[in-house]
Amino acid sequence: MRSFVRLSRRSTSPAPVAPPDHDPPVMEFRGVGLTYPGPPPVTALRPCDLIVRRGEFVTVVGPSGSGKSTFLNVAGLLDAPTEGSYLLDGIDVAGAGEAARAALRGRHIGFVFQSFHLMPHRSALENVALAMVYNRSGRADRTARARAALTRVGLGHRINAVPTRLSGGERQRVAIARALVARPSLLLCDEPTGNLDTATAESVLALLDELHAEGMTVLVITHDPAVAAHGERTIAIRDGVLAEQARAGVAE
Amino acid sequence: MTDKRRRLPRLRRSDELSAFSSFSPRDLFGESLAGMLQRPARSALTALGTVLGVGTFVAVLGLTATTSSQIDSRFDLLSATEVTIEDVGREQDEFAGFAFPDDADDRIEALNGVQHAGVYWQVRLTGNDTVRASPLGDAVGERAQILAASPGTLQAALPTLAQGRLYDDFQQNTAAQVALLGSGTAARLGITTLDTRPAVFIDGEPFAVIGIIDDVQRKADLLLSVVVPSSTAERLWGTPAEGGAKMLVATRTGAAAQVAHEAPTALRPDHPEYLKATPPPDPRSLRTSVTSDLGQLFLLLAAICLVIGAVGIANTTLVAVLERTGEIGLRRALGARSRHITLQFLTESGTLGALGGLVGTSVGVITVVAVAVARDWTPVVHPVTLAAAPAVGLATGLLAGLYPAWRAARVQPAEALRR
Ligand SMILES: Nc1ncnc2c1ncn2[C@@H]1O[C@H](COP(=O)(O)OP(=O)(O)OP(=O)(O)O)[C@@H](O)[C@H]1O
Ligand SMILES: [Mg+2]
């Protein structure tokens, strides 16, 4: 069932466009910024506001060194912001300790990396099931769920293959299945097609489009404008500053 | 499966910040095992140091226990029930004279726990100490030890006779000129049978040979001697003026020390210091002397092996941590806490150590059994050793894993995933 718990703080927040339903945004940055302590201190993410709603497909673009990975680390709870507050599924996580953030990562976020990060000696099925090892899911249904996730990404026939026997595109599909299997509320992809050729990249992006069409919230970080064009919204980063990008040629 | 409803938070929002990740023991072992099996050859080589260390430990302790029990069983048989009493009166007082009273055998046999006891000494003839098988001067002469021994001495020595019989209290009391020969001495004197009623001549005196001793369990020099009753020796040649008389006492098991303590007073209440009773050596002191020599050297060696094993495990685990930084980052992204990472690497190193310990224990036990079989001993390995050895391996592994596991826990997920 849906939970209709509403954040009381909501009314005092700097009035984002009121959501049509009672669902809190998946991601809400309120003045979130990150400065690496240096020396010299580097402000990789300037304080910014951002809202990503449930079911959105958002892309983040920017040149190298602009702060894309920093943004992803903050959004994915891998790094704590040095200022502002961050609401993930309506939970204020800015003050959460390391243990709480680890648990929140496991439950709310699915990561997809440019370099896949698959365990080379484990089968596709084991790699996907690993996403459920730490989040209190019962052992019994792990295999079934991992199998279902692999089938969903079109790898139902390669369940027992080890990653070294899979093509780049197949590896990234395994990684996507791993990101999906714990039913996160946000799929965070850092350059998901960075290591793939154009054709394979297209099929992976098509998969992300499908997932989005099924209701998944997807956030893709890329430096490639063609990839960025897949998103409903595109946010540009330059020198740590976030800016909503006007969609030239796309009717809003 | 990406249906909107199922992606909603399953926990109440207020619980979200306190519901920490978990890592069930079964998963912990599964993941650790998978980690070790990634590089099976490397893991096996890593465990080798522990195998050698623990194996040496078990082998040394087992061999020590085996030899000690060997000594124990030999002592339990006879030596532990044997007391020797020596006449040392001449050392105390030059006019002390012969320290043993005439009724020495009876006095000692009256003590609790004594089975047999008897006085004996070696007879020293002034001139011609050869023993001949005939009175004629040109007959075959053999130099042989002549032993004056009371009947109690013979019984205490537990002899087996080839032929004839022992002399008894009657011959002792009448100072009869009878003799017993060890089988070796009899052969050298050309005496093969008692049917011809042979005699030997000692210092010109004839002695009827009444028995040939085949074997004794105590006082083996009886076999190389001509044994005559002590009363007869005393009548012919007197008591040994320069001391040297002794008493052999056979006791019941466990009574030896007490008998040794009481004997001098029982024999000479007036001058107990004239007699020195020697109880059997304490098997325990004997065992420690065996343990202390080679054993300690090998235990030191085993300790060095263990240290080398620990360093090997530490090194391999550290390399694994550095190699698997990406995996650590991934696990953290999937919800693992840093303590879960610590636990996993500790489990890996601990398992390597414990496996090395188990294999080492087997190797050690096999060594002990092999040596024991070759020497015809009973292999003895203390159960405590068997239980402790794998634990020593486990402890080595855990200790070696501490630093690498700590390093692994400190890996920052954001940095680990950057690669
Ligand atoms: N741990 C750190 N300490 C200090 N500065 C850092 C750290 N990590 C990143 N930076 C700096 O922050 C800025 C943003 O880095 P980030 O990795 O987010 O860039 P990026 O957009 O992901 O680049 P790329 O496209 O090359 O991956 C860079 O100037 C970088 O040098
Ligand atoms: Mg980057």
Helix (H, G, I), strand (E, B) or coil at B332: helix
Tell me how far the alpha carbon of residue B36 is from its chain's centroid: 41
Pairwise CA distance, residues A110 & A227, whole Å? 19
How does pLDDT run across A149-193, given as a tens digit for each residue?
999 999 999 999 999 999 989 999 999 999 999 899 999 999 999
Kindly determine whether residue B1 and residue A3, on different chains, have CB atoms separated by under 8 Å: no
Residue B265, SS3 per DSSP: helix
Residue type, B161: L
Please check whether residue B32 is in contact with residue B351, taking contact to mean a CB–CB distance below 8 angstroms: yes
| Selection from A221, A95, A228, A116 nearest residue A176 by Cα | A116
Q: Is the Cβ–Cβ distance between B328 and B340 less than 8 Å?
A: no
Ligand number nearest CA of B416 is 1
Q: Which of A79, A105, A145 sits opposite B335 (nearest CB)?
A: A105
User: For residue B1, what pLDDT is reported?
Assistant: 42
Q: What is the pLDDT of residues A91-108, one digit of tens each?
A: 898 778 888 999 999 999
C-alpha distance across the termini of chain B, in Å: 31
Are B330 and A119 inside 8 Å of each other by CB? Answer: yes
At B135 the pLDDT is 65
Edge-to-edge strand list for the sheet holding A27-36: A42-52, A27-36, A83-88, A91-92
Average pLDDT, chain A: 86
Residue with tokens 């053999």: B142
Helix (H) or strand (E) holding B250: strand B246-251
Does any ligand 1 atom lie closer than 6 A to the CB of residue A69?
yes
Q: How remote is the C-alpha of B234 from its chain's centroid? A: 43
Q: Would you state the pLDDT for residue B141?
A: 67
Contact assessment for residue A34 and residue A81, using Cβ atoms and an 8 Å cutoff: yes
| pLDDT reported for residue A16 | 46
Tell me the CA–centroid distance for residue A58 and ligand 1, in Å: 21
- Distance CA(B287)–CA(B316), nearest Å, equals 41
Q: Which ligand is nearest to the CA of A241?
A: 1
Domain residue ranges of chain A, discontinuous segments joined by +: 2-244
Q: Can you give the pLDDT at residue A5?
A: 35
Strand partners, B207: B200
Run of H or E residues at B202:
strand B199-202
Q: What is the pLDDT of residue B350?
A: 93
Whether pTM > 0.80 for this model: the answer is no
In this prediction, residue A10 carries a pLDDT of 37
**CA B286 to chain CA centroid, nearest Å:** 8
Cβ-based contacts of B17 with chain A (< 8 Å): 91, 93, 96, 100, 104
* Residue A31: count of CB within 10 angstroms of its CB: 14
Report the pLDDT averaged over residues A53-66. 93
In this prediction the ipTM stands at: 0.88
Q: Which of A36, A222, A227, A238, when mutated, tests ligand 1's pocket best, judged by the most ligand atoms within 8 Å of its CB?
A: A36
Bridge partners (DSSP) of residue A90 are none
Measured distance CA(A190)–CA(A60) in Å, rounded:
9
Residues of chain B with pLDDT under 50: 1-9
**Is there a cis peptide before residue A39, judged by omega within 30 degrees of 0?**
yes
Cis peptide before B281 (omega within 30 of 0): no
Which residues in chain A are closer than 8 Å to B34, comparing Cβ atoms?
A: 119, 121-122, 126
- Looking at residue A108, what is its pLDDT? 93
Q: How confident is the model at residue A34 (pLDDT cuts 50, 70, 90)?
A: very high
Q: Does B286 touch chain A (CB under 8 A)?
A: no
Q: Is A64 in the pocket of ligand 1 (CB under 6 A)?
A: yes
Output the pLDDT for position B281: 67
**What pLDDT does B2 receive?**
41
What is the pLDDT, as a whole number, of residue B26?
Answer: 87
Q: CA of A145: how far to CAs of A2, A109, A171, in Å?
A: 22, 17, 18
Q: What is the mean pLDDT of residues A218-230?
A: 91
> What's the mean pLDDT in A210-220?
94
The pLDDT of residue B12: 64
In this predicted structure, the answer to whether residue A249 has a pLDDT above a threshold of 80 is: no
pLDDT range class, residue A50, cuts 50, 70, 90: very high
CATH ID of A2-244, from 3.40.630.10, 3.40.50.300, 3.40.228.10, 2.140.10.10: 3.40.50.300
